[in-house]
Chains A and B, each alone.
Chain A
């Protein structure tokens, strides 16, 4: 992927849903480049081939060419139809909600901080003034996020998921992902993507994906700290 070499800042996809997005992205991207290049070449050809020369007469004044016009209506229509089909299939897969996930995380957004609650274990993570909160997730497991906002609209974007969802006050939302075997630390992956006022730019979080057993240890540790504090 030579193109993605330009994108070194982007974390690799970590969910099976993100994998779906990635191959759709590849199709759209290369098609977009192809179409743009085709038209650029066409324009270049036209301005070289048909540039005015000494002694030019009035060119032919033919105004319609119905077969050509139909072709450049129908061919794009077919391309759009194919792209739409790909989108429908993948978007439905991405939007599928897992009602019985391995883990539920409640995400609460407020100006300008995140809170992550793990209702099964009573663990809660809140960012502090100086430090971004860390969203810790288990590898190889399904997770459903339940989103709510306490004030204005925020948007929960994890770039490694290739997914975001607005968090609209008064209207809780949720989505599910299947995290793959991708344990690692993703310090730039968590972003509030909907403009939410003064400190919107600093409303970020870090993502850490742990192996399943490490995750259990982490939960236990948090519970211990919580009961102490």
Chain B
């Protein structure tokens, strides 16, 4: 089999001794203080963790890394809560008939399940990534507005608490579904404080998101390190930038629509009241004008995650970088004009236009898929945990993507809309992909955040349990939906295969729960383990790997020259200018006399052109 015996004779790099490449750790160890690149330089010498040490410290921190960690932990707690609520749904649906919960409670449970997952878990975890990574990836000491950032976080926490406290309210939690269509969400059909609390909670978290978006945009536009041009930014940062613009466009519309709904409910306004000249359809337009960009607001940060990971573990540059940026921008632009595909069956929208824009969005997403494959193509792929989960993301995303094309056709949507087919579809694109990419991110950046790696063996267990559990739970929902099972019902017709598919789905949920166990064990073990990892444990590319793990309070004591989107890669290969960006060696030499801790990274650099493959260890 020739596939096992690749021909690498065409390569110019045969025989490079791996030990002779420049490592960030060696450079960091070389000088005790520095700060020669304008940004992030301060008097911190070494390995100050930069995280708060006390409870008061955590409660009052404005540090982007601490807040990023807080966002991540909080959103994972909400994931656990949302996942537990899903357990109630799967228990109730395991058999036809009503067994465990009342209709009222069931309706509250799926409403809060969806709301928690979308508003309190998926989007905020994206903000966790933005918080922790954006300053590190662009060589900045913090976000542009640290105190605003802390304010955003606490708005989110209190918003989330208010939503959950709805269950304790008189009349129970909101029970009108996560998209809250009036008149059902009006004062007449949904009296009770739980509904009001839901609205207030979403306004708070939406405001939190808007403020974070402003913060991220300001940071990326104003605080990039010298040399970090837009087209040298990691794709992760690009995606978070585009996400933030979509947040700015979408969230205020949602907040406005919710204010109007609350005015209807509390003060007898009639924006959405059909009995008095209001329009229920108006809500749907406003909600989905938020709701569809929202899908990409959720997804793009996780697209960014895997785009960081594939190249590192394939030892390749990201394939088609500029095409990928263009695809992200195209998705951002198109996402504002597809909202009414959620409203095909209302009969009150121009279905042909929205069918076209919705179908078109498959093209840039397809480009991304091929770019990810292209990043692996020809590479030297190793399958550490982040890579496993990224490949899990890729296949899950494709499976959800093709059903998205089906649903973009109104001809087919007329049958499938509001059925379990849709439930399956969005759990693939917004559930499975997010979960796989989220764990990819945790396994990938855990060494950066803690200085330790998580257990590979446990990760493998988790990966396979997740893969099997996820598909067992959600795949057969496609059949259920096509068969005619509607969403949001606690009971279903006792048709033979309805029972079968539902029982399989409920069984799959148990496997999903089991997949959490190895992860928790891995985390606990990691807390007990000593710090072992250096600045760059994966031999990665972007700037966050150019500082110690965990990074010091102001992130960087020193920055490598930034001459491409892979500054750390370029530094590693600085003595081989046929590999890394050749300008990097030149930029390094130019620092002589300017930087206190400057020293040649290779003997050749000082004078001769780097003709040999010998690397000099500082």
Contact = CB atoms under 8 A, between A and B. Distances in A.
Interface of A: 6-11, 20-21, 24-25, 28-29, 31-33, 35-36, 39-40, 42-43, 46-53, 56-65, 68-69, 72-73, 76-77, 80, 83-84, 86-88, 90-91, 94-95, 111, 151-153, 155, 157, 159, 162-166, 168-171, 173, 175, 187-189, 191-202, 204
Contacts of B498: 9
B104 A198 contact: yes
A164 B411 contact: no
B348 A171 contact: yes
Contacts of A63: 317-321
Nearest to A88: B352
A32 B380 contact: no
Contact of A189 (B367, B381, B484): B484
B17 to A, nearest CB: 11
A58 B566 CA distance: 15
Nearest to A196: B184
A58 to B, nearest CB: 5
B58 interface: no
A80 B484 contact: no
Nearest to B281: A168
B482 to A, nearest CB: 6
A91 to B, nearest CB: 5
B405 A201 contact: no
B505 interface: no
Interface string B367-395: 10111011011111111000000010011
Nearest to A152: B184
A152 B411 contact: no
A157 B374 contact: no
Interface stretch (B39-47, B251-259, B415-423): B415-423
Interface string B99-131: 000011001000000000000000000000000
Nearest to B280: A168
A39 B359 contact: no
B130 to A, nearest CB: 26
B483 A7 contact: yes
A147 to B, nearest CB: 9
B417 A76 contact: no
B251 to A, nearest CB: 24
A56 B380 contact: yes
Nearest to B572: A58
Contacts of B579: 58, 61
B13 interface: yes
B483 A10 contact: yes
Nearest to B360: A80
Given A9-B496, A163-B414, A168-B280, A59 B360 contact: no
Interface string B303-323: 000000000001111111111
A49 B15 CA distance: 22
B191 to A, nearest CB: 12
B3 A49 contact: yes
B346 A195 contact: no
B409 A87 contact: yes
Given A84-B359, A198-B103, A65 B497 contact: no
A46 B103 contact: no
Contacts of A195: 176-177, 181, 184, 418, 487-488
Contacts of A86: 409, 411
Among B184, B314, B403, B491, which residue has the most Cβ atoms of chain A within 10 A?
B184
B529 interface: no
Interface residues of B, number: 99
A35 B402 contact: yes
A65 B11 contact: no
B409 A28 contact: yes
A36 B482 contact: no
A144 B163 CA distance: 44
Among B321, B356, B411, which residue has the most Cβ atoms of chain A within 10 A?
B411
B474 to A, nearest CB: 15
23 contacts: A6-B497, A9-B495, A20-B411, A21-B415, A32-B406, A42-B373, A50-B376, A50-B381, A56-B8, A57-B13, A59-B379, A60-B10, A61-B316, A63-B318, A83-B405, A87-B409, A91-B411, A168-B280, A169-B280, A170-B280, A193-B345, A193-B417, A198-B175
Interface string B1-14: 00110101011011
Contacts of B391: 43, 47
Given A28-B412, A57-B14, A151-B189, 20 more contacts: A9-B484, A9-B498, A29-B406, A39-B373, A43-B373, A47-B376, A49-B3, A58-B16, A59-B379, A61-B317, A63-B321, A72-B367, A73-B366, A84-B359, A91-B409, A159-B484, A163-B415, A164-B415, A164-B418, A201-B492
A3 to B, nearest CB: 9
A72 B415 CA distance: 31
A185 to B, nearest CB: 14
Given A88-B355, A162-B414, A171-B274, A7 B497 contact: yes
B234 interface: no
- Return the 3 tightest CB-CB contacts between A and B, nearest first: A170-B274, A201-B489, A159-B484
B141 interface: no
B549 to A, nearest CB: 23
A200 B488 contact: yes
Interface in B179-198: 181, 183-184, 189-190
B409 A170 contact: no
A21 B417 CA distance: 14
